[in-house]
Amino acid sequence: MTWVSAVVHGILLGGVYALLATGLALMFGVMRIINLAHGSLALIGAYMAFLFTEHVHVSTYLALVPVLPGALIVGYLLQRTMLERSLRAGQLVPLLTTFGLLIVIANLLQYFFSPDVHSLDEGNIGTASWQVSSSLTIPWFDVLTLGVAVVLLGGLQLVLRFTQLGRELRATAEDADTAELVGINARAVYARATAIAVATAALAGVFYGMRSSFDPNAGANQLLYAFEAVVIGGIGSLWGTLGGGIALGVAQAVGGQINPEYFALSGHVVFLAVLVARTAMQARGFRLTLRGVG
């Protein structure tokens, strides 16, 4: 029965990864930007929520009220000031900008908040759990996190499919040049995408902060797992990010069940296996169309 427990916890862990990965998927899907600072932005969300709850003694969830709109603005400005210019200079330059941002943010956080760990209070739901059986306990908070991830991804999917913003996002992601020619302000579209991405990062950061303690250097590993989730799920697919997160979470949990030291490694192995399998399947189709080309 412990295997079932591992799988279930893996699925729930997938929710955490998917929540963090959503913004990554959005920025990469729309702008081909690998945002190395995504984890740092999530951390800022956690720290801002911490600041808020320190001064205004309310539940952490209410901290989302100021934090999320703030994150939207931060994301919009980030794109208009830094990332837009970096993108114009070349595909690789945003890598440098976001890397610079990562370092600056991590160290400024350390300066203002000290290297000590903090954590956010998840309220009553934090300790509640569902005792399914003698060997399977499901914490309600993890279910909530997964639920939030699903709602977020679903909401974004709806926006993409049914709103004008969504159509513009999809069109610009596909062909920014032609999008401009049909009247879409590509730069404004990009800015909105980044705004949403940073807001989802802040949301993920707050939930991460409730789940575990954090310090200014936290999240390097989490960032990698989030990236893995995006790639496993297939770049460009929002639901794929959820699937990828769950696949990764389950792989890690099952591997961790075999031996705690295999936790991260199992995830990496599954990641590489999925990629190899996918490439092999594509290659079969590929070879049929491109005979004799070295």
Whole-angstrom distance, CA of residue 53 vs CA of residue 82: 30
Supply the minimum distance, in Å, between the C-beta of residue 183 and other proteins. 3
69-98 burial code (b ≥16 CB/10 A, e <16): ebbbebbbebbbebbbebbeeeeeebeebb
Binding characters for other proteins, 270-289, by CB under 8 A (x = yes): -xx--xx--x---x------
Q: Which helix (H) or strand (E) holds 153?
A: helix 140-162
**116 is a contact residue toward other proteins (CB under 8 A):** no
Binding characters for other proteins, 180-199, by CB under 8 A (x = yes): xxxxxxx-------------
**54 is a contact residue toward other proteins (CB under 8 A):** no
Whole-angstrom distance, CA of residue 214 vs CA of residue 217: 8
Q: Given CA atoms 89, 91, 92, 97 in this order, what sign does their dihedral have?
A: positive
**34 is a contact residue toward other proteins (CB under 8 A):** yes
**117 is a contact residue toward other proteins (CB under 8 A):** no
CB 226 within 8 A of CB 17: yes
**114 is a contact residue toward other proteins (CB under 8 A):** no
Q: Which of 56, 65, 108, 277 binds other proteins (CB under 8 A)?
A: 108
Total residues found in the chain within this entry: 294
140-169: contacts with other proteins (CB under 8 A)? 164, 167-168
Burial class (CB in 10 A: 0-12, 13-18, 19+), 182: exposed
Instruction: Return residues touching other proteins (CB under 8 A).
Output: 28, 32, 34, 82, 85-86, 89-97, 99-104, 106-108, 110-111, 164, 167-168, 170-171, 174-175, 177-186, 217, 220, 224, 227-228, 230-231, 235, 261, 264-265, 268-269, 271-272, 275-276, 279, 283, 290, 293-294
